[in-house]
Amino acid sequence: MVQEKFDVIVVGAGPAGLAAAYTMAKGGLKVIVFERGEHPGSKNVMGGVLYRQATEEVFPEFWKEAPLERPVVESNYWLMTKDSVTKYGYRTEEFAGEPYNAFTVFRSKFDRWMGRKVEEAGALVICETVVEDIIKEDGKVVGVKTGRANGDVYADVVVIAEGVNSILTQEALGMQKKYLAWDYLAVAVKEVIALPKGKIEDRFGLEDGQGATIEMIGEATQGMVGTAFIYTNRESISIGVGALMSHLINNKVNPNELLENLKAHPAVKPLIAGGEIKEYLGHMIPEGGYKAMPKLYGNGVLIVGDAAQMVNGIHREGSNLALISGKIAGEVVIKAFEKGDFGSVTLAEYQARLNDTFVIKDLQKYQHSSGYFEEHPELFKLYPHLASIANKEFFTVDSIPKKEKQRIIMRKVFEKRSMRHLAKDLYKLWRVLG
């Protein structure tokens, strides 16, 4: 086991930890990364869509060498009932070429690639090693206890990037146990279903090598707060669904049941027909947002990525927040070394810089959404249903004059939700999302 002292210890080799480690190693610091998995990415689950712009800020022109699946040219949202779908989407050929917008990826491959870049930059990446505790002296974080024999390792700064449900964050900041935002944890499960490349392109209407995404709400989560997704990989489809843990428990629903129902939905079944299940994965997602965030720094410690609840569930963003928080944390640590001071006043610059980015601005913007949806899960079932009622009437061609049709649509919709309630819902949605 490595006994020497390092400049920085990074706990966790996900996008947040690896972005921090890469930035600091490039800046000349002596960095060690501990990862509990067999290799970076081996424990990671993501839908997963990786966003070009944030990734490029850390790894310029990564798409020229990183293992990616398909550039996403088409993004769709589906509102689902049991037997219908209302679709909204956008497609552009501009996203098919440089500089790209987003890619589908397998985190097991992509994180491994990032890990290699981090090692090339000069950091040590030690896998199959769990960090069990934080070592503090006089209120300052000075190292970590790993699960290995003689496994105490010391450094001037520890960057906690261990992902969702971070116990180390609580310990490092001396937070109360109740901090963990259990109510706002979502559980997601995902399958990777193998299909021939050509079949994927035919079924999703894609040109050679291009990708598409579908996000689904409504029947996909049986009206619980959550979403489902389908993403095209080179020779497989990732399909998954997640919902708030509290709603799954209260409704006594197993996430696997949700996935099986989703796969049997008439709009989904043909997309995956004949495919072979290659992988089954499950993971938690921190959905607490801004209100559930811990302090992001302390004496000798910084918190990045999911460990600090940096997930924007409304826009299905997490990897980009992780990468940017890791990069900024790395830059702040480099400055701290120039100053020779690792106290909380110096490291507070991380919070200040992050406040000026989309990471905190977006989390702040949606800060009331988690609580609102948690209290109003009925909206997840009701609105796909209303959309279906209206669209069915609209698309049914019969002898009813169009003006009369409009009246029928209004009547049927108002039967389900009064005009007063609809106005109230829209106003509240505008307040929490607008």
Ligand X SMILES: Cc1cc2nc3c(=O)[nH]c(=O)nc-3n(C[C@H](O)[C@H](O)[C@H](O)COP(=O)(O)OP(=O)(O)OC[C@H]3O[C@@H](n4cnc5c(N)ncnc54)[C@H](O)[C@@H]3O)c2cc1C
Binding site for ligand X (CB under 6 A): 11-17, 34-37, 43-49, 130-131, 161-163, 188, 190, 240, 242, 283, 285, 305-307, 311, 316-320, 322
Residue 216 or 387 with smaller CB distance to ligand X: 216
Residue 359 or 387 with smaller CB distance to ligand X: 359
* One-letter amino acid for residue 202 of the chain: D
Residue 117 or 417 with smaller CB distance to ligand X: 117
CB of 411 to ligand X, least distance (A): 40
CB of 306 to ligand X, least distance (A): 4
Q: Report the C-alpha gap between 316 and 318 in whole angstroms.
A: 7
**Which residue, among 169, 177, 180, has the nearest Cα to 286 in the 3D structure?**
180
CB of 104 to ligand X, least distance (A): 8
CB of 431 to ligand X, least distance (A): 26
Strands 70-80 and 85-91: antiparallel
Residues facing residue 102 across a β-bridge: 51
**Which residue, among 355, 371, 76, 86, has the nearest Cα to 231 in the 3D structure?**
76
Q: Report the C-alpha gap between 22 and 116 in whole angstroms.
A: 10
Q: How many residues does the chain have?
A: 434
The enclosing H or E element of 173 equals helix 167-173
* One-letter amino acid for residue 335 of the chain: K
Residue 75 or 388 with smaller CB distance to ligand X: 75
Q: Report the C-alpha gap between 424 and 390 in whole angstroms.
A: 19
Residue 190 or 385 with smaller CB distance to ligand X: 190
- Residue 261 tokens read as 């129902």
The SS3 assignment for 348 reads helix
CB of 313 to ligand X, least distance (A): 9
CB of 195 to ligand X, least distance (A): 19
Residue 49 or 158 with smaller CB distance to ligand X: 49
